[in-house]
Structure 1
Amino acid sequence: MSFEVVAKDLAGRVGRLRTRKGTLETPALAPVVNPFKSTISIKEIEEIGFKFVITNAYIIWRRYGELGKELKLDSILGTSSDVVIMTDSGAYQLMEYGYIDVSPDQILLYQLDIGSDIAVILDIPTRPESSRRAVWLEVEETIRRAMRALAVKSSVGSDTLLVGPIQGGTHLDILRYSARKMSKLPFDIYAVGSPTRLLAEYEFSKVVDMIVTVKSEVPLSKPVHLFGAGHPIMLALAVALGCDLFDSASYILYARDGRYMTPHGTYRLSELKVLPCNCPVCRKYTVEDLLELPSHERERELAKHNLYVLKYELDSIKQAIYEGRLWELLEVRCRSHPGLYRALKKLRKYRKYIEELDPVTGGEIRGIFLYEGTSYFRPEVERHRYRVLNLYEPPARDVLIVVTDVEKKPFHIDPSVRKILSELSRVGALNRVHVLVFYPPFGPIPLEVDDVYPLSQNESYVSIVSPDTKRAIDTLARYLRKFCQRYRKVLVVGKVTHRYLGDALTKKLSMLDIEVHDLDPRLLAERVRKYLKEISTSTR
């Protein structure tokens, strides 16, 4: 097994997972297929663009037994030779019914014998209602089974990729323990176990905790699978956190219930007036046409549409990673549901995790879009705050001028800033003044570094009284507190924000001499010249 990362953004990546069937590009979703009940054929799934499917080895074992070993999965499912087939071990049935009549060794060997390309060990899924003690015992048993499964696979010399599920659920300390133990075992793929019920109940914030807990422990060189994640509205979030593989039966389950997927939510077909999609299904039919079809045909067409939407969303996520715009796609998708928006806000807690995995450079340089409320903790903003507070050394000057409401970027070519610099030069004060721009959500931007990406390569809107502006003021206050010995006086100048900013800084920093001035470069230069003359006179 090898997993090559070809592009990164946030903690997400586009990768190439090599299997014995060939290379699978990630992020990838495996539609769940039932070999004995197919509303939509494997050929149709392939034609939509999916070269990765998952089926249940336990169901095949119950139906075919030893015959399955002779038939092999490609024949049973009817897949092309290049379709990667993943098999589940029956853990879902174990979680639902509490018992299955096969041992972990038996079902693992059966998966290898029927030709599975990616096999999952028979773990014990964590149920949300289980007691803490029960979860501990089940996790320990899963770890024991994981060690045994690796030994069994090694004994038969199989080239099937093996998945190690990491259990513990929302008990994050148990989940972390499980992840640490499992990460020491040489699985080809790791998986975040048991999120299905949380996803169904829109508890995306809890799933964020689970993903980050697991990803923080497992090797970065290995792909991570998120079980049961198959709605387009949450795929961008899961990929942004570092998940590479997904599986779901949602496309067919939603179709059976007359539900129509979109990247921003789900509709009841009966409630739609038009079909807001341009896939082949939606080009062929109207809402009325679909409603008039026999139920089994309508279910089939809806399932195909849902798969097209999932494929479109995965391709959109990949393109966003290549362009470095995954955060912007994430902000759009996470406004599709309050539960997703809460999950997006939860990323503030994990901003250090994301910033460390997000590439500083790479790909084509593009301007970024900054929105009020959630852009404050995107990696580029977080990175700038760290640099300006910990790596930057400002020059020692008598006066610091903080300019607000600058409209043109890079800031040093803004007409107001250029006029200030020109007037300071006219009165002979330029070499005794340091100029920085206050620009939410970044906060303080020293003029000499204003063209460092993305300080000028962005479009933003942040209102004066927004939490983002308040956080940016806090960053500026920390900067001034750290470097207060470098300046004798601070002048805050601007058109609107300067008074709000000046008042806030005065309350926070009583040790500094802070003045607020309207943006009049000539009067400002004269005020600086007069102040510098006073300093010179007082120090003689």
Structure 2
Amino acid sequence: MFEYRLIAQDPETGARAGEFVTPHGVIPTPVFMPVGTQATVKAMSPDELKQIGAEIILSNTYHLFLRPGPDLIAKAGGLHGFMNWDRPVLTDSGGFQVFSLAGISKVMDDGVEFQSHLDGTRYLMTPELATQVQEKLGSDIAMCFDQCVKLPCSREQAQDAVERTLRWAARCKAAHTRADQAQFGIVQGALFDDLRAACADELARMDFPGYAVGGLSVGESHAEMYRCLDALMPHLPERKPRYLMGVGHPANLIEGIARGVDMFDCVLPTRNGRTGTVFTRDGRMNVKNRRYAEDFSPIDAECDCYACRNFTRAYVRHLYRAGEILAVRLLSWHNVHFLVQLVAGARQAIVEGRFGEYRREFMTRYEGGAYLEKV
């Protein structure tokens, strides 16, 4: 039911194009997954996401556990039926959300005791419960419950988190019962290459259908992220998909692909859309700036998304300053489209044997772009 097929590989880097077969469709990789935290990608409808080219979306176990609850979603036919999305869905385990709520959570060997940010109710999330919740959500890909540590951290803290993550991964695997759901293990280890390698080696022995890299994009530099990926990738099985969690900066996507990453997700495109910032090949643009007040050119002249084909910078700036919802919708539409198509373009370049050129051209323009602004 789940199979990773390698289609092409760049001879100069680790970049690869493949397909991951799931019950709700074949996912072409590399792929960017828009985040639908609460069973919706903010400001976007499912039909709009399909127009953009989204092949898979991510939903959040922690938030859906608290509201509306996994039992209700199961009654609706799982996430696919609940949110009317007939393509693949990935659910995270809630581990990162618990990490981000460190002030109201307590990590124990059995699980994590946390306080709901909605009403203050206390819960104990265990590996078994995280697995059961995701089975009720009915996602195609479910993540093991893991422990993410805050950076910087000591080696002892990182090692404790790795050992706990491995124990929890074994418990998640033992609790998992759905044959129509692929469960991915998550590699932790902070910025310690040997700990990450050991974690990956042990997870590989557990033989999960896919593997994720967690605990990055949490404050480290881009150089540190790339160094970790360079050291880690040889320890991840070649015939299984590789998922870099929570990464959405355009440069990080291209550099992650160059190192053999297959899957990415991030809230950045819709979050930036809500703050008036858009991605272009020449850097980030803040449409709130006065310089665009009488600029009647498209948001991005090289983009063919709905927003760029139909509206000007001046108009979108006006909408944003007036507090109109359409501004957030258009900016989010463009940003999601930009990242989905950026990664799809990288895939096509790999297939056509020109990824090195694609990478160099994008990085040169983006990092020296005319629109790079303090946003």
Could you state the TM-score of these two structures normalised by the residue count of structure 2? 0.84
SS in structure 2 at match of 1:222: coil
Partner in structure 2 of residue 23 of structure 1: 26
Partner in structure 2 of residue 208 of structure 1: 226
**Inter-partner Cα distance in structure 2 for 1:229 and 1:36:** 20
Check whether the contact 2:9–2:15 (CA below 8 A) recurs between aligned residues. yes
Partner in structure 2 of residue 13 of structure 1: 16
Partner in structure 1 of residue 84 of structure 2: 78
Match of 2:181 among 150, 160, 165: 160
SS in structure 2 at match of 1:219: coil
For 1:50-449, list aligned pairs within 5 A.
50-65=54-69, 66-71=71-76, 72-79=78-85, 81=86, 83-98=87-102, 99=105, 100=114, 101=123, 102-153=125-176, 156-198=177-219, 203-271=221-289, 272=292, 273=295, 274=297, 275-277=299-301, 278-279=303-304, 280-293=306-319, 294-335=323-364, 336-337=366-367
**What does the per-residue CA deviation read over 1:126-147, in whole Å, with 9 as the maximum and x for residues that have no partner?**
3213222111111100000111
Partner in structure 2 of residue 371 of structure 1: none
Check whether the contact 1:233–1:264 (CA below 8 A) recurs between aligned residues. no
Runs of at least 4 residues of structure 1 off by over 4 A? Answer: none
Residue 312 of structure 1 and its aligned partner are, at CA, apart by: 2.2
Work out which structure has the larger RCO, using CA pairs closer than 8 Å and 6 or more positions apart in sequence: 2
**Inter-partner Cα distance in structure 2 for 1:17 and 1:262:** 29
**Inter-partner Cα distance in structure 1 for 2:166 and 2:281:** 37
SS in structure 1 at match of 2:206: coil
Amino acid at match of 1:77: M
Residue 36 of structure 1 and its aligned partner are, at CA, apart by: 6.5
Amino acid at match of 1:87: T
* Number of residues of Structure 1 aligned to a counterpart in Structure 2: 331
SS in structure 1 at match of 2:229: helix
Residue 157 of structure 1 and its aligned partner are, at CA, apart by: 4.4
**Inter-partner Cα distance in structure 2 for 1:34 and 1:179:** 27
Partner in structure 1 of residue 35 of structure 2: 32
Check whether the contact 2:193–2:232 (CA below 8 A) recurs between aligned residues. no
**What does the per-residue CA deviation read over 1:269-290, in whole Å, with 9 as the maximum and x for residues that have no partner?**
1334443333221121111111
Can you give the 5+ residue segments of structure 2 that lack an aligned partner in the other structure? 106-113, 115-122, 369-375
Residue 323 of structure 1 and its aligned partner are, at CA, apart by: 2.2
**Inter-partner Cα distance in structure 2 for 1:122 and 1:264:** 38
Check whether the contact 2:130–2:145 (CA below 8 A) recurs between aligned residues. yes
Residue 246 of structure 1 and its aligned partner are, at CA, apart by: 0.6
Residue 257 of structure 1 and its aligned partner are, at CA, apart by: 1.0
Partner in structure 2 of residue 372 of structure 1: none
Check whether the contact 1:33–1:54 (CA below 8 A) recurs between aligned residues. yes
Check whether the contact 1:112–1:158 (CA below 8 A) recurs between aligned residues. no
**Inter-partner Cα distance in structure 2 for 1:188 and 1:286:** 45
**Inter-partner Cα distance in structure 2 for 1:170 and 1:333:** 27
**Inter-partner Cα distance in structure 2 for 1:185 and 1:140:** 14
**Inter-partner Cα distance in structure 2 for 1:52 and 1:16:** 12
Partner in structure 2 of residue 502 of structure 1: none
Q: Percentage identity across aligned positions?
A: 27
For 1:499-510, list aligned pairs within 5 A.
none
**What does the per-residue CA deviation read over 1:10-39, in whole Å, with 9 as the maximum and x for residues that have no partner?**
211111101111211111111001336732
Greater C-alpha Rg? 1
**Inter-partner Cα distance in structure 1 for 2:63 and 2:194:** 34
Residue 61 of structure 1 and its aligned partner are, at CA, apart by: 1.3
Partner in structure 1 of residue 372 of structure 2: none
Amino acid at match of 1:135: A
Residue 114 of structure 1 and its aligned partner are, at CA, apart by: 2.0
**Inter-partner Cα distance in structure 2 for 1:26 and 1:281:** 26
Check whether the contact 2:39–2:59 (CA below 8 A) recurs between aligned residues. no
